[in-house]
Amino acid sequence: MQVVLLSGGSGKRLWPLSNETRSKQFLKVLQDSEGKNISMVQRVWGQLINVGLASQTIIATSKSQVDILQNQLSVGPNSLVIEPSRRDTFAAIALASTYLYSVKGICPDEVVIVLPVDAFVENSFFERMKELEDIILHSNANLALLGVKPTYSSTKYGYIIPEKVFHNDSAIPFLASEFIEKPNESTAERLIEKGALWNCGVFAFKLSYLQSILQENNLPIHYNELLKQYNEIPCTSFDYAVVEKENKIATLPYEEDWKDIGTWNTLTEEMNSKIIGKGNVSQDSVNTHLINELDIPIAILGITDAIVAASPDGILVSSKAKSSNIKSMTECFDDRPMYEERRWGWYKVLDYVKFDDGNEVITKRLCIAKGKNISYQIHLKRSEVWTVVKGTGEFIKDDELMIVGNGDVLVIPIGTKHGIKAITDLEIIEVQSGSELSEDDIVRYCETWDEIKAHYNELHEVSYVRVE
């Protein structure tokens, strides 16, 4: 059995803490057993390790999230399938399946189980999920799902309508089902009366099943070919593209607690503390949560059932009940991310200004973790001035290496090659100035410090002439 963990979504519902690169699964608002703050992806990954599935799991993610994912989980590049752009879950699952087949050499008869990253569940959920393999192998079902009992007539889930219970063609009894994705509220009510279950976003199928769907859609089953055509894959969810059209569906009910923690309302229910970050919430502010990533305090007085979340990207003040409607309110915000976690650490934008002559200036605080490095690169539209404010590092500029430390000011004109490795934890205040300031204005020559050092050694090689 192979597991695909879907972790590429943008999760805009948790704005302002989530942004283009730091989506909901990376927010450290949950706690582990020792009380340490962890993110959803860290929690699920820990659970997959606990139930013995991590070694057979690949993570489907988007290009912009690779750095943060590798920062939060210690997974090698072979465990990642990187979507070149965001095209919803049908494309993501299709790409992951071709990766399993072409890159990992998985046999088409093997069962693949796809799992979302935002389910807040206990380990028993993953144990139940493992049973789907047996159903796929020993019944005539093409797809197997996990279903939970609905708690209200939600319009954001798929509904599984059980028809009958089979006992004979699989060791595990399951429900033969029909599936309706995101019905309206009155249909949802009717479906619940008929005993419908919510789909938990877990899909099990044989790899060959997905391959036949790709072929029906005139899409290749080989990874490299599908990767080339990725932007032509229909932009739709797996639920609409596959599940809703399938009539051989089996479902296993999951009877313990299941919660999708993709909205502020549901996420805050799982927080152990009412306050994360600087600030205070008055005693009479019942069921109100504060999450503050800014360095200034926030005070909340006499506001009940609310969420206040602040980050360098914005501030949200919302009632718990309405917090899932956030997408429509924030769609018009298209500012650049003001905070990003990268492969080497993180940065925060402290100030941004655009002058009348069109020149832009951004001041950033960069924290590079001990042993990590920024790639060897140039910028075509900006100069940078770095002031080292903490730690020591090895700095390379135009193929010259030097040791730098607290108090050093490093000037990097437009088009100058530069990179830095932190010898100890390193902090830099960076001032960028140029005609167009964007994270895309980076031409990278080498990424790892070993490559950078090899390049340096090649250029500075000293040839010794042996004197006899």
Taking the complex as a whole, the smallest distance from the CB of residue 417 to ligand M6D amounts, in Å, to 10
Beta carbons of 169 and 139 less than 8 angstroms apart: yes
Rounded CA-CA distance 437/295 in Å is 25
Beta carbons of 111 and 137 less than 8 angstroms apart: yes
Nearer to ligand M6D, 411 or 442 (CB): 442
Nearer to ligand M6D, 296 or 353 (CB): 353
Let me know how long the chain is. Answer: 468
Rounded CA-CA distance 248/404 in Å is 64
Rounded CA-CA distance 458/416 in Å is 19
Nearer to ligand M6D, 232 or 335 (CB): 335
Q: Is position 347 an interface residue for ligand M6D (rule: CB under 6 A)?
A: yes
Q: Give, as ranges, the residues between 369 and 408 that touch ligand M6D (CB under 6 A).
A: 374-375, 377, 384
Among 342, 348, 397, 421, binds ligand M6D (CB under 6 A): 342
Q: Side-chain half-sphere of 330: how many Cα atoms within 13 Å?
A: 22
Q: Is position 327 an interface residue for ligand M6D (rule: CB under 6 A)?
A: no
Q: Is position 65 an interface residue for ligand M6D (rule: CB under 6 A)?
A: no
Looking up tokens 């204005």 gives 441
Q: Is position 291 an interface residue for ligand M6D (rule: CB under 6 A)?
A: no
Nearer to ligand M6D, 66 or 227 (CB): 66
Q: Give, as ranges, the residues between 137 and 166 that touch ligand M6D (CB under 6 A).
A: none
Taking the complex as a whole, the smallest distance from the CB of residue 66 to ligand M6D amounts, in Å, to 11
Q: Is position 430 an interface residue for ligand M6D (rule: CB under 6 A)?
A: yes
Rounded CA-CA distance 326/24 in Å is 14
Among 22, 24, 289, 364, binds ligand M6D (CB under 6 A): 364
3-state secondary structure of 24: helix
Residues 6+ apart with CB under 8 A from 357: none
Q: Is position 422 an interface residue for ligand M6D (rule: CB under 6 A)?
A: no
Q: Is position 421 an interface residue for ligand M6D (rule: CB under 6 A)?
A: no
Distances (CA, A) of 285 to 195, 289, 358: 38, 9, 46
Rounded CA-CA distance 292/296 in Å is 8
Q: Is position 444 an interface residue for ligand M6D (rule: CB under 6 A)?
A: yes
Rounded CA-CA distance 315/309 in Å is 6
Taking the complex as a whole, the smallest distance from the CB of residue 338 to ligand M6D amounts, in Å, to 12
Binding site for ligand M6D (CB under 6 A): 342, 347, 364, 374-375, 377, 384, 430, 442, 444
